[in-house]
């Protein structure tokens, strides 16, 4: 049976600050630039979740798009949208909320909710020009 990749786009707004506690403000600004702002700042994150697998002979689906949509809404948007990632999201209390780390956290949450036989890839845009991709490797 043909393998097809199904994509679902989602969106969330969130605030963050990138920094290492043990570094000075100057050092943090050198490494993390504007994202080191101690007063936080927001990004409009665009998320693309890709699910690859064989088309189910009975339904004609790789995954039910409604199921995928609700999964992203309930597990990711509810958790991250309009949140201060550093302060309000457990995973980022000890992990710098870079686009890379956010993508890994999202992938880990979704991976256990999607059938093992389906391949999962998460693409996360932090800005229209900056994006990261994670597929569990
Ligand atoms: Ni930032």
22 is catalytic: no
pLDDT of residue 1: 77
Spatial contact of 85 and 91, defined as CB atoms under 8 Å apart:
no
Q: CATH number of the domain that 55 lies in?
A: 3.30.479.10
Nearest to 51 by CA among 36, 38, 61: 61
Q: What residue numbers bound the domain in which 23 lies?
A: 3-134
Spatial contact of 1 and 57, defined as CB atoms under 8 Å apart:
yes
The rounded Å distance from CA 77 to ligand 1 centre is 18
The rounded Å distance from CA 136 to ligand 1 centre is 23
pTM of the model: 0.95
Q: What is the pLDDT along the chain (137 residues), one digit of tens a residue?
A: 799 999 999 999 999 999 999 999 999 999 999 999 999 999 999 999 999 999 999 999 999 999 999 999 999 999 999 999 999 999 999 999 999 999 999 999 999 999 999 999 999 999 999 999 999 99
The rounded Å distance from CA 43 to ligand 1 centre is 6
In terms of C-beta density within 10 A (0-12 exposed, 13-18 middle, 19 or more buried), how is residue 124 classed? buried
35 is catalytic: yes
CA distances from 94 to 20, 83, 125 (A): 10, 16, 22
126 is catalytic: yes
Q: How many domains does one find in the chain?
A: 1
């Amino acid at each position: 049976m043909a393998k097809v990749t199904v994509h679902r786009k989602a969106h969330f707004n969130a605030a963050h600050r990138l920094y290492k506690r043990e570094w000075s403000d100057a050092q943090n600004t050198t490494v993390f630039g504007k994202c080191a702002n101690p007063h936080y700042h927001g990004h409009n994150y665009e998320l693309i979740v890709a699910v690859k697998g064989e088309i189910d002979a009975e339904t004609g689906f790789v995954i039910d798009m409604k199921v995928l949509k609700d999964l992203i809404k309930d597990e990711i948007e509810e958790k991250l949208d309009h949140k201060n990632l550093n302060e309000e999201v457990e995973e980022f209390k000890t992990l710098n909320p870079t686009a890379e780390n956010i993508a890994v956290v999202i992938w880990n949450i979704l991976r256990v909710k999607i059938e093992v036989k389906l391949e999962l890839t998460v693409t996360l845009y932090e800005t229209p020009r900056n994006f990261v991709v994670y597929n569990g490797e």
